[in-house]
Amino acid sequence: MKLTKMSHACVRLEKAGRTLVIDPGGFSEQDAAAGADAVLVTHEHPDHFDEGRLRAVLEADPATEVWTLKSVADQIAAAFPGRVHTVGHGDTFTAAGFDVQVHGELHAVIHPDIPRITNVGYLVDDGKVFHPGDALTVPGRPVETLLLPVMAPWNKISEVIDYVREVRPRRAYDVHDALLTDLARPIYDRQIGALGGSEHLRLAPRESAEL
């Protein structure tokens, strides 16, 4: 499997000539989901879900399908009958040849005064990759590659480190990093790498790694 990091929370997974894209939101490149066979969206926040861009991807290729939670599906499903699938915690499905399990239900707490929205994470190919969206969800299954939301309004570095410790992946790649400045990156790299207990890695936008 080939993993390509796009900006912020978006990644592209490629296997056997097919492409699965997760969270091509407004903080990612305009073409982040171009050519995707399937798209997964974890929740409705605009840095993870850009309605206009996702509609353009579906219009460009009538074979492309989307799996997401109800709050996102309700915004686009009517225009693309049979191609937008609603999922929730505990569901399993196959998208673009990838086996996917759904874990989690709620977005992390940003502030007690802000109502929590729904959020799901996707465990791909029996733990080869796990993308938790905007939550520190522990899937309760072995994880080889954790896509680690390293910097967000709803987390702090101690929580990020403890999350890596709890999931215990073989490796963790940073995602959700558009708010992290280049000045701060070495601090995060050093502390997560030293304290997380797993190999901690970072890819630049459009950089790839073989898993």
CATH, residue 91:
3.60.15.10
State the total domains in the chain: 1
Per-residue confidence (pLDDT) for residue 72, from 0 to 100: 98
Alpha carbon distances (Å) from 110 to 5, 106, 115, 150, 151: 25, 11, 9, 15, 12
Q: What is the pLDDT of residues 107-131, one digit of tens each?
A: 999 999 999 999 999 999 999 999 9
Per-residue confidence (pLDDT) for residue 159, from 0 to 100: 98
Per-residue confidence (pLDDT) for residue 164, from 0 to 100: 98
In the predicted model, residues of the chain with pLDDT beneath 70 are: none
User: For the chain, what is the radius of gyration of the CA atoms?
Assistant: 16
Per-residue confidence (pLDDT) for residue 120, from 0 to 100: 98
Per-residue confidence (pLDDT) for residue 138, from 0 to 100: 98
Q: Which domain holds residue 58?
A: 2-210
